[in-house]
Structure 1
């Protein structure tokens, strides 16, 4: 029963963590009425929770493997009590920066669940499970929508104090319902990092999540003030519209995970970045409210789906170092939400427009589409190489003039020749001399006419021993019919002599 509770419990934990994470950005219009904040520093106030919320994802992901999700969620909620109370009593810009920084713990707990939950389910469901867990992002929508409404009734300080009650409740829930018997791993974090850092896929996934989750966080913290300042909406109306963006991006996240379980995940990522490119391109032209809404919803849809897809890919490629890899990738996603608001604000202060910032976002998204396409073809090549290297038959490939360009490990095992010893040489280096010229003339005549020859040939190993091989030679042609290479595959069929 405890195991079955982990998905709903940890998803609810994430909801609460994200509710706390965005307290400042959601209540900033109210806080500004009581706390003097220089206009040029507004973006810093909303962005600081993202810093710790990003960086802490690495250790929290790692320690989720060491101590289990129960302990990590419990400790996180207890620690969050202090910055939440501190913020409720804030009366200066410095107070907001100090308290806001430690609110980042609420965002950092994301890496706990994506590390813990896949342990309870088979790989073919990891995309859906992490997608459902990722719906905990809805916590930002809850705070963005509810906090301004409550603040109009009881004030922003009392509204923040309500979160203390919520944190205490969930600390207790994790103490009593968390899984104390979760599978744990204590492999040193330094060793894990050495392994994952060598895998280039870690950096691709980090970049992709930097953009998809980064755009989600950036729009979450950016929209409330932007809608008030640019479209002259009321604070509550701006909060409702921002909550709509968050809800859409959150609800489609498990759809992205489910699609990644069923189809090629990289194809879905290509569609995601095309959507982000188009949406940000529309925003670059400062459209009317209608087109602005369409573009923002397109970004919500594609970013949400992309978030679900990426956390199908991470545990698939890094199953043994899932905690560390999840932490690094999710950290980059959090940082992706830190820089765009600052960049947009800086561009606006210089030009009086956000267009250049949105256009830059569209170009980064387009470049990411190209990288996903490249990664897909690199994956295919890697698969072909794995098959080439692992097959039990010896394989040698020559150019059209008959010189060897590559061999597989089985070739070395069967003949004794290393790849370096035969590259650039003619396959006759293996000849035993038992077949005369007419044999080879007939063989090559059939290859030229039919593109394929199979038969038995006596050859000689590096150590001088002769062996009988079953050899197949086929020609590889391009679209114009010209031969580009020859491929020979062989097995040792030397009869045993008792």
Structure 2
């Protein structure tokens, strides 16, 4: 029973964590009426919670493996009581900075669930499971939409105090319903980091999540104030539009995870980053609120899909180091939400427009698209190499002049010739005198006419022992139909032949 409720419980934990995480960005317009907040530091203030929310994802992901998600969620929610109370009584910009920094704990809990939940489900369901869990980021939409409405009635300070009650409720829920017997791994954190820090795939996933989740966070904290200042919208209207962006991105996250389970994830990421590239260009030159809205919705859709797909890939490639890799990748996503608002604000202060910032997003997305395409074809090559190396049949590849270009391990096992000894030679090293010239002439005539030949043939091992094999030779042709190499596959049938003769 306890195991079955971990997905809904941890998803709700994430909802609460993200609700707390964006308190300042959602209510900053109201706080500014009572607290002197320099306009040139608004972006810094809204981005501050993202710092700790990003950095803490590594240790929290690791701790989820070591002590279990129940304790990590408990510790996190207890720790969040301080900044929430502190901000509710804030009087200065410094108070908001201090409290906002520790609000980051709410965003850091993301790495707990993506590390814990794979322990309860098979790999083929990881995309959908992590997508459902990741949909917990709808907590940002709840706060963005609801907090301004409540603040209109009872004030921003009292609104924030309501979050203390919510945290206390979830502390109790985790005490009673958290899984005390969750499987745990105790590999030292240094050893885990050593095992993954050189992995190109991990850093590629980090870049991808930097863009997909980073853009989600960045738009969440940046849109409310931007829509008010740039398009003159009312604060509640801006909050509702931002909540709409969050809802779309959140709903498409489990869809992205589900698609990652059903289809090739890297192809999905190609679509994601291709759409990002075009959408960012649209935002850079959007002349009206309508076109700006269309661009934002497109980014919300691909951000959600991309977030779901990426956390389908992480546990697939990194099973033993899932905790630390989830932490690193999700940290980079959080940092992706920290830098863009500051960058956009800086660019705007210098140029008076946001176009350059969106063109930078387009450029980085295009670079990511190129990397994904490269990873896709590299994976295909790796798969082909694995098949080549693991098959039980001997394989040799020759140039059209007969020079051996490649052999597999089974070739060495069957013939006794190592790869180094075979490459550069010709198949004549295996030849016996049991087949005459007419036999080989008929073989090559068949290959020229039909593209292949197969049959029984006697060959010789390196130690001089002769054996009978079943051999298939196929011609590999170019687009004009001319052969460019030949592939031979064979297996030893000597014992089978003896049994038939007996």
TM-score by length of 2: 0.95
Q: Secondary structure at the match of 1:103?
A: helix
Q: 1:329 corresponds to which residue? A: 329
For 1:194-245, what per-residue CA distance to the aligned partner results, in whole angstroms no more than 9, with x for missing partners?
Answer: 3333443222222111111111000001001101110111222211111111
User: Residues 38-437 of structure 1 correspond to what in structure 2 (within 5 A)?
Assistant: 38-437=38-437
Question: 2: CA distance between counterparts of 1:340 and 1:247?
Answer: 21
Q: Name the count of aligned residue pairs.
A: 498
Q: Deviation of residue 161 (structure 1)?
A: 2.0
Question: 2: CA distance between counterparts of 1:164 and 1:211?
Answer: 32
Q: 2:443 corresponds to which residue? A: 443
Question: 2: CA distance between counterparts of 1:37 and 1:402?
Answer: 78
Q: Secondary structure at the match of 2:285?
A: coil
Q: 2:468 corresponds to which residue? A: 468
Question: 1: CA distance between counterparts of 2:335 and 2:416?
Answer: 52
Question: 2: CA distance between counterparts of 1:346 and 1:422?
Answer: 62
Question: 2: CA distance between counterparts of 1:406 and 1:270?
Answer: 32
Q: Secondary structure at the match of 2:300?
A: helix
Question: 2: CA distance between counterparts of 1:395 and 1:192?
Answer: 38
Structure 2 unaligned spans of 5+: none
For 1:264-292, what per-residue CA distance to the aligned partner results, in whole angstroms no more than 9, with x for missing partners?
Answer: 22222222222222221111014211111
Q: Deviation of residue 299 (structure 1)?
A: 1.0
For 1:47-77, what per-residue CA distance to the aligned partner results, in whole angstroms no more than 9, with x for missing partners?
Answer: 1211111121122112111111111111110
For 1:278-310, what per-residue CA distance to the aligned partner results, in whole angstroms no more than 9, with x for missing partners?
Answer: 221111014211111111111111111111111
Q: Deviation of residue 149 (structure 1)?
A: 2.1
Question: 1: CA distance between counterparts of 2:44 and 2:402?
Answer: 65
Question: 2: CA distance between counterparts of 1:342 and 1:406?
Answer: 54
Question: 1: CA distance between counterparts of 2:22 and 2:209?
Answer: 19
TM-score by length of 1: 0.96
Q: 2:454 corresponds to which residue? A: 454
Q: 1:6 corresponds to which residue? A: 6
Q: Secondary structure at the match of 2:143?
A: helix
Q: Deviation of residue 388 (structure 1)?
A: 0.7
Q: 1:23 corresponds to which residue? A: 23
Question: 1: CA distance between counterparts of 2:121 and 2:64?
Answer: 17
Question: 1: CA distance between counterparts of 2:262 and 2:447?
Answer: 42
Q: Deviation of residue 366 (structure 1)?
A: 2.4
Question: 2: CA distance between counterparts of 1:461 and 1:198?
Answer: 42
Bigger mean CA offset, 166-175 vs 78-87:
78-87
Q: Secondary structure at the match of 1:25?
A: helix
Question: 1: CA distance between counterparts of 2:379 and 2:74?
Answer: 40
Bigger mean CA offset, 362-371 vs 17-26:
362-371
For 1:121-148, what per-residue CA distance to the aligned partner results, in whole angstroms no more than 9, with x for missing partners?
Answer: 2322221211111111111111111222
Does residue 490 (structure 1) correspond to residue 490 (structure 2)? The answer is yes
Q: Secondary structure at the match of 1:90?
A: coil
